[in-house]
């Protein structure tokens, strides 16, 4: 029995589309994770850096009801001269829409406050996509300079760094969202596949 031309065309299109459906996820998965380091040395000392690096997918804000400004200050740091100043209060590090799924790795250098403030038992808090607390790190000593790293994170969108210290070399890794073209290909493939299924059912009923 010869199949109707419309069904043959639809089947051919669907075969090609199925190839797109298979290739699209591979293309999306192939996008390499993006790792970014912020050292605050490209701004003048005293600059408010709340949204300075928003195009890189990260913002900074003082924690609390007044959401105070956050500045980069000239202190002794690994990447002289500047570091993030948290001597006036804890800092919320937020990851923007550039990483809708959050980040999967985070590290920073904690610099002791030259004035002698700081605690020998503070922690880092990690919050999820719904701003829910995911977990709190083990305590660390912020009266000495040290590097802390966290890996295998899932869906982290906000991190709170403790007050009474300076922070430098803030590094994070996030995976970008699939390209719009990839999502469009997947959507088109599903639409055509659904159309062919309906045509096949109708042909079977007529036969």
- Amino acid 153: pLDDT: 95
Instruction: Report the candidate in 123, 121, 67, 120 with the shortest Cα–Cα distance to residue 92.
Output: 67
Instruction: Kindly list the distances between the CA atom of residue 190 and the CA atoms of 27, 84, 119, 186, 202, in Å, as whole numbers in the listed order.
Output: 17, 48, 56, 6, 19
Q: How far apart are CA 188 and CA 95, in angstroms?
A: 31
- Amino acid 75: pLDDT: 77
Q: How confident is the model over 187-197, as a mean pLDDT?
A: 48
Matching residue, tokens 């699939």? 178
Q: How far apart are CA 116 and CA 131, in angstroms?
A: 33
Q: How far apart are CA 57 and CA 162, in angstroms?
A: 21
- Amino acid 11: pLDDT: 43
Q: Which residue has the higher pLDDT, 20 or 170?
A: 170
- Amino acid 193: pLDDT: 47
- Amino acid 16: pLDDT: 42
- Amino acid 158: pLDDT: 97
- Amino acid 189: pLDDT: 46
Q: Which residue has the higher pLDDT, 6 or 132?
A: 132
- Amino acid 113: pLDDT: 84
Matching residue, tokens 């607390």? 133
Q: What is the pTM of this model?
A: 0.70
Strands (E), 20-129: 34-38, 58-62, 72-74, 82-85, 91-95, 103-112, 125-127
pLDDT band for position 80 (cuts 50, 70, 90):
confident
């Amino acid at each position: 029995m010869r199949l109707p031309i419309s069904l043959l065309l639809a089947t051919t299109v669907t075969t090609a589309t199925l190839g797109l459906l298979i290739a699209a996820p591979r293309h999306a998965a192939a996008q390499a994770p993006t790792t970014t380091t912020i050292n605050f040395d490209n701004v003048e000392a005293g600059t408010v850096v709340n949204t300075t690096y928003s195009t890189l997918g990260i913002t900074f804000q003082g924690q609390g009801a007044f959401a105070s400004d956050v500045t980069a200050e000239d202190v002794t740091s690994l990447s002289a001269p500047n570091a993030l100043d948290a001597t006036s209060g804890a800092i919320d590090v937020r990851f923007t829409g550039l990483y809708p799924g959050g980040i999967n790795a985070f590290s920073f250098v904690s610099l002791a406050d030259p004035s002698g403030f700081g605690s020998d038992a503070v922690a880092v808090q990690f919050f999820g996509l719904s701003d829910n607390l995911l977990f709190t790190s083990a305590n660390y000593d912020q009266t000495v300079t040290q590097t802390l790293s966290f890996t295998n994170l899932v869906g982290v969108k906000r991190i709170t760094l403790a007050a009474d210290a300076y922070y430098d070399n803030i590094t994070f890794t996030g995976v970008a969202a699939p390209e719009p073209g990839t999502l469009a290909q997947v959507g088109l493939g599903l639409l055509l596949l659904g159309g062919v299924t309906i045509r096949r059912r109708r042909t079977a009923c007529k036969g």
